[in-house]
Every structure is written in structure tokens, then in C-alpha cells.
Amino acid sequence: MESASFVVVGGSAGIGLEITRRLAAKGCPVVVISRSAVSVADLPGVTHLEADVTQDEIDIGSLPERVKGLVYCPGSIRLRPFHRLKEADFLADLQINLLGAVKAIQACLPGLKKADNPSSIVLFSTVAVGTGMPFHASIASAKGAIEGLTRALAAEFAPKIRVNAIAPSLTDTPLARTLLSDEGKRAAAADRHPLKRVGKAGDIAAAATYLLEDASSWITGQVLAVDGGMGALRTFK
């Protein structure tokens, strides 16, 4: 991967932190936009920009002049029966998943256009968009909007900027802590996946890093399933 600047929104925890670590290990300058700098303070080549993308404007003047890649990681897991969901719940999921991504892309767009080679945007969907799951109405709606945004922007920005998304299944991160809070829940979640385990942050970060690299330069407009087989397979014994 060529030495260039990357922006990772939500890069100080979970999958975003793992992406930041992998980019830093490759010697890439990284700007992390998040509420806390504690976990990235000692990573070489990493600059922190404090902001809550659901509330704050992004300081465009603090962003790199040339942006090789942008990853938008913030998300939510709001699992409730449909009759218990309020309009405010749908709006909150759209705010963090869709509108925050729109804000980040618009802020970074001038820098993405200035990159020497085609730059890359990586967004996050969920397996629950393509595979109907109970209690996922709000988050699947918001992430479905992300998949639409991915394809629309991939068409609009081609050939200068590539846009792809990753659709994970349940991944062991702080965001999913309550769903994996004991060994019984963890074992049941693992058993639902054909590969018989839940995801790790590194599984998803490896895919995201690949989509940022020039090795993926002929990939755009795609939603890559990194889900332990959950979305495509049914195993019967």
C-alpha cells in the first residue's frame, strides 16, 4: 500500500481501532475521528480529531489535504420487537449509521478527489439487510440505506473514488457486549453461524484494509459479506 493519508471515523474502538492499528503498522498516516483518543494515543502516525459525528461538525481544516481512504465505522445494534420501536429509534439509527456517514464523506470528498490514484470509501452494513431477522427492523432499515448509498456513490464517483461496504454478522466488539455477555449467549450465537463462531474485529478489519488497498482497485459498488456464512448458507445435519 502506498504511503498516503487515511481517515477512520470511529477508529478508537472495536473494528475501527483494529483498522487503525493495521494501517499504522503499514506506516500509513491516519486521522482518527472519534470522541476519545486514549486507545490510539501511542500508535505511530496516528492523529486524533475529537468529534461526535452525530452532533458535531467535522473540522475540514484539520483533515488531510489528500485522502487515500475513508472508513466510517460508527454504528448501532438496536434489537427490539417492531411494536416497541418508536419513530425516535428509527431516526437515531439513521443518524448514526447513514447521516453520520454522509457527513464524513462530504467532509473528506475534496481530499478523496485529490488522491494520486483512485481513493476508497468503506462503509458498514449488516447481514440483517440481505437476510431477514426478527427484531432488526430499525437497524436493518438504516443499514439498507447504507447499501443504497454505497451503490449510488460508487456510480457517481467512478472512476476517481471507489465505494464499497462490508456486511458483517455478529462480531465480538464493545458494541455487541450485551449480546455476548455470558458463555451461553456466546455459544448459541456461534452455533447459528455455519463456521461455528462469532466474528472477531480482525476478521472485519482485514476485509476493510483490503478494500482500502490498491490490490482491490477493480472493486467498487459491492457489499462484501464477512459473516461466517450466515447470509448465504444453511447447514443441515
Q: What domains appear along the chain, each with residue ranges and CATH number?
A: 6-226 (3.40.50.720)
List pLDDT tens digits, range 33-76.
999 888 898 999 999 999 999 899 999 999 999 999 999 999 99
Please report the DSSP string for the chain in residue order: --S--EEEETTTSHHHHHHHHHHHHTT--EEEEES--GGGTTSTTEEEEE--TTTSPP-GGGS-SS-SEEEE---------GGG--HHHHHHHHIIIIIHHHHHHHHHHHHHHH-SS-EEEEEE--HHHHS--TT-HHHHHHHHHHHHHHHHHHHHHTTTEEEEEEEE-SEESGGGGGGGSSHHHHHHHHHTSTTSS-EEHHHHHHHHHHHHSGGGTT--S-EEEESTTTTT-----
| Confidence grade of residue 1 (pLDDT, cut at 50, 70, 90) | very low
Which residues are within 8 A (CB) of 131 and not within 5 positions of it... i.e. 6 or more apart?
230, 231
Is the pLDDT assigned to residue 3 strictly greater than 90?
Answer: no
Which residues are within 8 A (CB) of 15 and not within 5 positions of it... i.e. 6 or more apart?
73, 124, 168, 171, 173, 201, 204, 205, 208
C-alpha–C-alpha distance, residues 21 and 115, integer Å? 22
Q: What is the pLDDT of residue 48?
A: 95
Q: What is the pLDDT of residue 18?
A: 97
CA dihedral over 167, 15, 26, 103, signed as positive or negative: positive
What is the amino acid identity at position 114? K
> What percentage of the chain has pLDDT greater than the value 90?
87
Q: What is the pLDDT of residue 110?
A: 96
C-alpha–C-alpha distance, residues 207 and 228, integer Å? 13
Is the pLDDT assigned to residue 175 strictly greater than 90?
Answer: no
pTM given for the model: 0.95
The region of weakest confidence among 77-86, 168-177, 196-205 is 168-177
| Confidence grade of residue 180 (pLDDT, cut at 50, 70, 90) | confident
List pLDDT tens digits, range 209-232.
999 999 999 999 999 999 999 999
